[in-house]
């Protein structure tokens, strides 16, 4: 894989992310659309991004275009308490 690696960290906004497919795009501060794969997101077992959230990343020029590496979520949403539904004595 032939990539130009930049060590300069950049900031951008997630424009879309498809969790089932594991990829999406970030709009860089200078308007470039940057591909992001779930494996590049820092975090635990389940790594995803939410459209509109701000991220910091290192951009590389991959074979198909700009790609984000080492993606850090700057303001990840707080985990919500699980919702427990009960009906007829059953809990889901």
DSSP secondary structure, 36-62, as one string: EEGGGB-SSSS----TT-EEEEEEEEE
Higher per-residue pLDDT: 62 or 91: 62
pLDDT at 46: 74
Query: Above 60 in pLDDT, residue 83?
Result: no
Average pLDDT over residues 57-77: 91
- Alpha-carbon distance of 4 to 25, in angstroms, equals 19
* Interatomic CA distance for residues 45 and 55, integer angstroms: 18
3-59 confidence digits (pLDDT tens): 555 667 999 999 999 999 999 999 999 999 999 999 999 987 778 999 999 999 999
Q: Give the start-to-end residue ranges of the domains of the chain.
A: 4-75
Q: Is the dihedral of CA 60, 61, 63, 65 positive or negative?
A: positive
| For residue 92, pLDDT beyond 60 | no
Judge: domain 4-75, CATH 3.40.50.300.
Answer: no
């Amino acid at each position: 894989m032939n990539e130009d690696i930049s060590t300069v960290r950049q900031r951008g906004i997630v424009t879309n992310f498809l969790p089932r497919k594991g990829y999406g795009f970030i709009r860089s501060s200078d308007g470039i659309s940057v591909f992001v794969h779930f494996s590049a997101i820092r975090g635990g077992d389940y790594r995803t991004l939410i459209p509109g959230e701000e991220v910091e990343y290192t951009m590389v020029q991959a074979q198909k275009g700009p790609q984000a590496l080492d993606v850090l979520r700057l303001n990840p949403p707080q985990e919500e308490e699980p919702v427990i539904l009960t009906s007829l004595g059953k809990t889901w």
